[in-house]
């Protein structure tokens, strides 16, 4: 088989999606297969992989927004039911917090998907993502110079800074541009290494 053609089972194993999910995407026209092999097995092209990544990206955005809105609305209901004033969306700090909270699940979802291509395992990618969440806590055990080098490049620092919850005057506090750049670098590195490794597989 041409190495630029990827069987449905291989795509499912590499992305953590089930074959049934890919079949559903095919049936509704969201991600049609490119064709079939001489033995009748369905396959995808590299262009289909890009389209699948876009689908996952948009799904992660939708999930992040839904989680943030549900959390915000739940908080408003709790305040109202206790006779307290509801929070106004005119507050810049609140808007920053909501945006930052929406970005968190989006980022970690994208990172996990990219890492799935790299590890060829959903368990491996999830474990690595959880490791990036926990690593900053271990970094704080080291000396200040080590913290000053490592903490700013960790996703948590960027996410906390975007949400406005990073502690002022610490190595965790980053500018908005630095935060966005840090998150983008993490995603791009994981993406390109993962796709490169996946394409090298002898399918």
For 5-49, what is each residue's pLDDT tens digit? 778 887 877 777 788 888 888 888 888 888 777 777 788 887 787
CB 90 within 8 A of CB 73: no
The pTM score is: 0.72
* Assigned token pair, 123: 């368990």
Burial class (CB in 10 A: 0-12, 13-18, 19+), 200: exposed
Task: Report the pLDDT value the prediction gives residue 2, as an integer from 0 to 100.
Answer: 47
Q: Round to whole Å and give the CA distance between 68 and 124.
A: 27
User: 141-185: per-residue pLDDT in tens?
Assistant: 999 899 999 999 999 999 999 988 888 888 889 999 999 999 999
Distances (CA, A) of 150 to 20, 53, 165: 41, 29, 19
Helix 176-199, helix 155-163: angle, nearest 10: 140
User: 111-151: per-residue pLDDT in tens?
Assistant: 888 887 788 777 788 889 999 999 999 998 999 899 999 99
What letter would DSSP give residue 87? P
């Amino acid at each position: 088989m041409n190495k630029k053609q990827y069987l449905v089972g291989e795509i499912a194993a590499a992305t953590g999606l089930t074959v049934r999910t890919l079949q559903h995407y095919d049936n509704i026209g969201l991600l049609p297969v490119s064709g079939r092999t001489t033995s009748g097995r369905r396959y995808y092209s590299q262009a289909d992989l890009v389209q699948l990544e876009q689908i996952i990206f948009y799904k992660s955005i939708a999930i992040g927004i839904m989680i943030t809105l549900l959390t915000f609305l739940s908080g408003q209901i709790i305040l109202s039911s206790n006779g307290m004033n509801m929070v106004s969306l005119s507050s810049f700090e609140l808007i920053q917090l909501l945006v930052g909270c929406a970005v968190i699940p989006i980022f970690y979802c994208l990172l996990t998907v990219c890492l799935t291509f790299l590890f060829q395992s959903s368990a491996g990618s999830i474990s690595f993502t959880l490791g990036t969440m926990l690593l900053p806590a271990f970094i704080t055990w080291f000396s200040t110079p080590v913290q000053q080098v490592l903490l700013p490049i960790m996703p948590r620092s960027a996410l906390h800074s975007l949400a406005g919850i990073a502690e002022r005057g610490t190595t965790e506090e980053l500018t908005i541009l630095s935060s966005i750049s840090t998150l983008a670098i993490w995603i791009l590195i994981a993406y390109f290494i993962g796709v490169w490794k996946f394409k090298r597989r002898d399918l």
